[in-house]
Chains A and B, each alone.
Chain A
Amino acid sequence: QVQLVQSGAEVKKPGSSVKVSCKVSGVAFSTSYITWVRQAPGQGLEWMGRIVPVVGRPSYAQKFQGRVTITADKSTGTAYLEIHSLRSEDTALYYCARQYNNILDYWGRGTRVTVSS
């Protein structure tokens, strides 16, 4: 079956970086859009960006451009989200999801990132 398994919770200091992983199985990883969506505590869903591993060129929401890096390792079927210069407002649950035919059809369980001094 399709699984997106995300890495565990992180606690980071402001100004540091975090890298979250998402291991995908059960679908054609290289030709899928792997999307990152975040959800701040008690808030809604926010699209951050996506990557198609076979192409390797990510797209980002302008808000995150320059501070977020999305990559993919085709050899392991794993996508990554790295956020630099963390601030308290980055405290959120970060989801990876597979996008197919414009539908976010499979989701990971989320990785909680807490930014606190």
Chain B
Amino acid sequence: DIQVTQSPSSLSASVGDRVTITCQASQDIRHHLNWYQQKMGEAPKILIYDASILETGVPSRFSGSGSGSDFTFTITSLQPEDIATYYCQQFDNLPLTFGQGTKVEI
């Protein structure tokens, strides 16, 4: 199975801050990585797919980059509504695997 290591596990930032989360895959997964946001009590929601493509309707302050085994997710200006846990997920090979999650707090 492809392991996806996400860091940090949690972070605290202020409104307007730049927030960065990283994911490292255990092997080359090309650009086959998605990012999801999960707010408390809700199902996950797709934000970024194929490592860097913003899902329709998602604010442009969210972005993703990377390929191969190293990926980055960025919120350029943290907003109160961004409080959530963020997960990366690889789809290069079955089983689909998720990172451990990053809880973002203000």
Contact = CB atoms under 8 A, between A and B. Distances in A.
Nearest to B87: A45
Interface residues of A, number: 20
Interface in B55-95: 55, 87, 89, 91, 94-95
Contacts of A108: 43
Chain B interface, >50% SS class: loop
Nearest to B100: A44
Q: Contact residue range for chain B?
A: 20 to 34
Contact of A47 (B38, B49, B97): B97
A80 interface: no
Contact of B49 (A44, A59, A102, A109): A102
5 A-B pairs closest in CB distance: A107-B43, A61-B95, A47-B96, A102-B91, A45-B98
Interface of A: 35, 44-47, 49, 59, 61-62, 95, 97, 101-105, 107-110
